[in-house]
Every structure is written in C-alpha cells, then in structure tokens.
Amino acid sequence: MKTIRATSPLLLAVALAWAPCATTRADEATSQISFSDPSKPGTLKVRVWHGDVSVRGDDVKEITVKSDSTSLAPTPRKDGMRVLSTSSSFLLSEKDNVAVLEYGGEGWAGGSADFEITVPRSTSVIVSNSAHGELSCSGLSGDIDVRTMSGDVKLEDVTGGALVETMNGEIGVDVKSLSPSRPLSFTSMHGEITIHLPSDSKANILFRTHRGVIMSNFDDKALVTKTEIAHRASQQRVAPVKAVPPTSPDSPPAPSADAPPKPIDGKDLFNREEARSQDSDGDWHNDVSASIKEAAEEAALAAHAAADAVREGLAEAHVQISGVIPPLPPMTGGKVVTGTLNGGGTQIQAATLSGDILLKKAD
C-alpha cells in the first residue's frame, strides 16, 4: 500500500523569513501517486473536514495533489528521526486501484486546507466534505458521488453518472453528454440547482421543490411535462379488513384462517391512500387529474431507482472512512414536475427544500 503524508505550511512570518526557499516549498506543495493498474479506471475517495476541493480530469496516468498543506521532505532529520504525522497533515494513499485522500476528522481543531487534484479522466470520484468547503469536478468520464454538509458543488464537462447531496449549498451541473445507463440525482436542502444539458439530450426528469420554482428554457415541444402539488405521505396505517362470509352461492368463499395473507399490492395501497386524501381535500382532487398522479408515481419510482443505480454502480469502489456523511432522507411533498426531454432517456432527478430548480440548454 502506497502512502504519502503531508503537513501544513509554516507560519507566514517564517515563510517570509525564508523567502529564498520559496521555490523549494512550492515543490513540496505537490504530491503524486499512481494507481496500481493504470490500464483500468481507478477511484479517488476524498474526505476533507474543512476546505475547498477541486478535481480535474486530464490525459494523465497519475494523481497529482496540490495543497497549501505542504508535503513532508523525504530526507530524514539530523537526529535520525522520521516524521510519521504532524498536528495538521493530510494523508494520500492507494491500494487496489483506489486512492484515498484524507484531511482532518470529526472534532478537528486544525485549520482549513484547499486541494487541487488532477486525475485520469476515467477516474470515479467519491467525496465526503464534512464541515464546510466548495467542491468542483471537471472533465471526468467516471461516476461522481458527493455528500457534503455545507458548500457549493459545481460539476463541469461531465459524461458519467452523478449523485450529489448537500445540506446547504448551490449545485451547478454542466453535462457534456448523457448515457442512458448512468443516471443523475441532485439534492440540496437549502440551495438552487441548475442543470445545463445539450439541446439534443434525451432524458426523463423528476424535479421537486417546496419553497422555490421550477423553470426551463427548453421549448414545450422538446420538454413535455406535467405538474402537481404533492401532499406528504399519510401517516395513518390501513386497518386490517375482516373476512365476511359469502351471502350468496355466487359469492367467493371466505379465506381460511390458516391461509397465508394475500400480498399487499403497492398500487392498490397507493390508490386507497389517494382516495382517503381526496375525501379530506376535494379541491385538490379537482385540480389534479388521475393521469398526472399515475405519471408522478411512476416517475418517482424511476427516480429512486436511478439514485440507487448510481450508488450500486459505485459500491464496489467505496472505501470505508470514519465520519462519512450519510445520505439525506428522501424528500416528500412540495411541487413536482415530471416529464420527458426529446422523447425520454437518462433518468435525472433534482430536489430542493428552499431553492429553485433550473433546467437550461448548454451554451
């Protein structure tokens, strides 16, 4: 297992005092590591407690990390001791074509550090940015999995699948091309979501927002949509129904007490819940047709399956790191827009609690 350790820069006063060594320190700020098998796509796992992270795909074979938390000198100390760790350092390691970059951790009392990372274009990137910091990924054909507490997320020139979840921050996505088998899913609890797609993209969409608006500059012939006001799922459970003896020879026999229960039909349960909701809210029923509700149900199931597919596609590359942020809970209620772009294709889901969702043509 290859491992590289790096430490924070010296204080500004010391750096100024050693101005002639600026070139050397600039070299120390760059670390490189290779995948075990460069002929196969690798995975980069990043966990940064506090700081901005930029990941760029390029025509290279190695991973290069530049940071203001500089690398340790490889030469031993005069007293013969080797530095194994410092009070503020990042760790870069690689094993079985999975590279891991860690900086800080839960309860971290050190300062922030920014990272500029260059990777081969086919690399899949998994980022957990626990406390605060902005993230950008560009030029990647591998899949992207991002979970962060606070900070904007920007994806540019991407062609792979993507799953982005942030508590507080805007999400901006510039897609170079879509693949039917690689879905996209974006969730921000408090932030705007903007998605740029080529004009000829084929996609199925499901967008949801509670206190925002959903907009697009695709014309209504290319982007065909339906809109509904979605009520939160009912918390009331369906009471069991007692079997009633038949009242005529033509009536079906009552089920035996020993007979196994009939499986619950999810669609039938959905319809019963909808009927109960309609009894208590007749005005809403008049505004939303049955066809829209059916389309929304099917699109919601497809969107959840799309997000699961992204996770499953990345599951084999995941590396366990302590403190990784769990996925956000699914969002319910609000305004829901479902539809197809240019006849349908790749699954695209976006949800936000207090923010707008914009679907735009790429410039």
pLDDT digits (tens, 9 = 90+) for 99-129: 999 887 655 556 778 999 999 999 999 998 6
User: Domain map of the chain by residue range?
Assistant: 2-75+83-142, 191-235+266-363
The pairing of beta strand 346-352 with beta strand 184-190? parallel
Based on the number of CB atoms within 10 Å of its own CB, is 319 exposed (0-12), middle (13-18) or buried (19 or more)? middle
What pLDDT, on the 0 to 100 scale, is given for residue 223?
97
What pLDDT, on the 0 to 100 scale, is given for residue 29?
61
102 in Cβ contact with 91 (< 8 Å): yes
Using the 8-state DSSP alphabet, how is residue 26 labeled? H
Answer yes or no: is pLDDT of 284 > 80: no
Answer yes or no: is pLDDT of 11 > 50: no
- pTM for the predicted model, two decimal places: 0.67
Tens of pLDDT along 200-238? 999 999 999 988 999 999 999 999 999 988 765 544 333
Q: Which residue has the tokens 């599951």?
A: 315
Tens of pLDDT along 240-282? 434 444 444 454 555 444 444 454 444 454 455 445 444 544 4
Tens of pLDDT along 292-329? 455 445 545 554 554 555 455 444 444 444 445 666 77
Tens of pLDDT along 167-205? 899 999 999 999 988 999 999 999 999 999 999 999 999
The C-alpha torsion from 354 through 355 and 359 to 361, rounded to 10°, is: -170
What Rg do the C-alpha atoms of the chain give, in angstroms? 26
CA distances from 278 to 4, 231, 233, 298, 337 (A): 62, 11, 13, 20, 20
Tens of pLDDT along 76-89? 667 777 665 555 57
What pLDDT, on the 0 to 100 scale, is given for residue 7?
47
User: Which segments of 71-186 does DSSP mark as H helices, in order?
Assistant: none
The residues, any chain, with a CB within 8 Å of residue 113's CB and separated by 6 or more, are 8, 48, 50, 51, 67, 68, 69, 88, 90, 103, 104
The residues, any chain, with a CB within 8 Å of residue 70's CB and separated by 6 or more, are 6, 7, 8, 9, 25, 28, 29
| 230 membership: H or E segment, kind and range | strand 223-230
What 3-state class would DSSP assign to 144?
strand
Rounded Cα–Cα distance for residues 213 and 361 (Å): 18
Answer yes or no: is pLDDT of 49 > 50: yes
What pLDDT, on the 0 to 100 scale, is given for residue 35?
96
Answer yes or no: is pLDDT of 290 > 60: no
| 295 membership: H or E segment, kind and range | helix 290-315
185 in Cβ contact with 303 (< 8 Å): yes
Q: 5 pLDDT band (50/70/90 cuts)? A: low
Beta bridge partners of 150: 168
What pLDDT, on the 0 to 100 scale, is given for residue 63?
96
Tens of pLDDT along 144-174? 999 988 889 999 999 999 999 998 999 999 9
Answer yes or no: is pLDDT of 288 > 90: no
* CA 252 to mean position of chain CA atoms: 51
200: left (phi over 0), alpha (psi -120 to 50) or beta: alpha
The pairing of beta strand 357-361 with beta strand 214-216? parallel
